[in-house]
């Protein structure tokens, strides 16, 4: 008997704690392509802005894995899953046998079609490695374009302002955070940004990222050109189903799960931002990419 968890963020931690409520001894193996001890991803903007240190971002104590009899394989990517043989193939060639498997692969950035995406200094804003790369170029007086006036995008803007970066934020919608703020609140938020010397361009979108090898500006749909030293993509996230795409598991927008977080494959579960479950309030299947949901889904999977 053995449990394997692919992922090392909130849902994975919830699963470990859910398992250990009922099973104190069966080995658990956690596989993650990130090399870090579990950390709180929503804090990456505060790390970039200097509000917290790496130590402040730790999601569970450093002895968490040891106390819970968890073997970690960090910085190693899972490449494929054989559901019949019940093993996970890793990029180092090792195969992990499982009795039960949890897919907690989270979300991945949504990148709309645009030119120039192959250039340097174009960053996502999801993981620790993203902000570690950004902090190298986000120096005083540098110029940044943030694509997306979402919650994540505005957190990136806040961090950059604290680093004395000149920021332009661009969004295709007519107001900031339209799914959260009404017109009045969005106007207040936009004015607050402008009061901090942030340029806010709404109802527009980037068609091409300019520059030779490195991002040097953006060309907007209306023909406007904006110079910059780097670009941050903060448009949104999608379920990261890459590992199991075309594997036979049922996927809609995310990996479809039941109330116990079971997928369409026996002994395979999914939880967190990658999972799509039934929302009894809206009475439909949907994915909800928020921390509490990820934790309780993971805990539910672990308990089952």
* Mean model confidence pLDDT for the chain: 96
Judge if 3-108+239-303 and 111-233 fold alike in CATH terms.
yes
Helices assigned H by DSSP within the chain? 10-22, 44-48, 64-67, 128-137, 151-162, 183-195, 291-303
Give me the pLDDT at residue 220, please: 97
Q: How far apart are CA 127 and CA 72, in angstroms?
A: 19
Top CATH class of 111-233 equals alpha beta
Question: Residue 41 burial by CB count (10 A; 0-12/13-18/19+): exposed, middle or buried?
Answer: buried
Q: Which residues of the chain, if any, have pLDDT below 70?
A: none
Report domain extents, the chain. Answer: 3-108+239-303, 111-233
Give me the pLDDT at residue 185, please: 95
User: Domain 3-108+239-303 adopts which CATH fold?
Assistant: FAD/NAD(P)-binding domain (3.50.50)
Q: What is the reported pTM?
A: 0.93
Q: Are strands 28-32 and 3-6 parallel, antiparallel or unpaired?
A: parallel
pLDDT one-digit tens code per residue, 192-233 = 999 999 999 999 999 999 999 999 999 999 999 999 999 999
Q: How crowded is residue 165: how many other Cβ atoms within 10 Å of its Cβ?
A: 23
Give me the pLDDT at residue 124, please: 97
């Amino acid at each position: 008997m053995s449990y394997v968890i692919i992922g090392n963020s909130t849902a994975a931690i919830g699963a470990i704690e859910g398992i250990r409520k009922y099973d104190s001894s069966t080995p658990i193996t956690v596989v993650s392509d990130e090399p870090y001890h579990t950390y709180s991803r929503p804090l990456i903007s505060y790390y970039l802005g200097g509000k917290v240190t790496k130590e402040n971002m730790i999601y569970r104590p450093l002895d968490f894995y040891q106390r819970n009899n968890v073997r970690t394989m960090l910085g190693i990517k899972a490449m494929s899953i054989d559901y019949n043989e019940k093993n996970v193939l890793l990029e180092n060639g090792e195969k992990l046998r499982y009795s039960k498997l949890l897919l907690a692969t989270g979300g991945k950035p949504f990148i709309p079609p645009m030119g120039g995406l192959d250039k340097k200094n174009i960053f996502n804003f999801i993981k620790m490695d993203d902000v570690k790369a950004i902090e190298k170029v986000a120096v005083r007086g540098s110029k940044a374009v943030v694509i997306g006036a979402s919650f994540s995008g505005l957190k990136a803007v806040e961090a950059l302002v604290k680093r004395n970066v000149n920021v332009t934020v661009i969004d295709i919608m007519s107001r900031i955070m339209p799914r959260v703020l009404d017109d009045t609140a969005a106007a207040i938020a936009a004015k607050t940004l402008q009061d901090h010397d942030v340029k806010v361009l709404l109802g527009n979108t980037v068609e091409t990222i300019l520059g030779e090898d490195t991002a040097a500006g953006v060309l907007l749909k209306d023909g406007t050109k904006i110079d910059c030293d780097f670009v941050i993509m903060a448009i949104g996230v999608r379920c990261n189903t890459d590992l199991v795409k075309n594997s036979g598991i049922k996927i809609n927008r995310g990996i479809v799960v039941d109330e116990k977080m079971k997928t369409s494959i026996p002994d395979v579960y999914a939880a967190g931002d990658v999972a799509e479950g039934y929302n009894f309030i809206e009475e439909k299947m949907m994915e909800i990419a928020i921390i509490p949901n990820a934790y309780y889904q993971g805990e539910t999977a672990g308990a089952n």
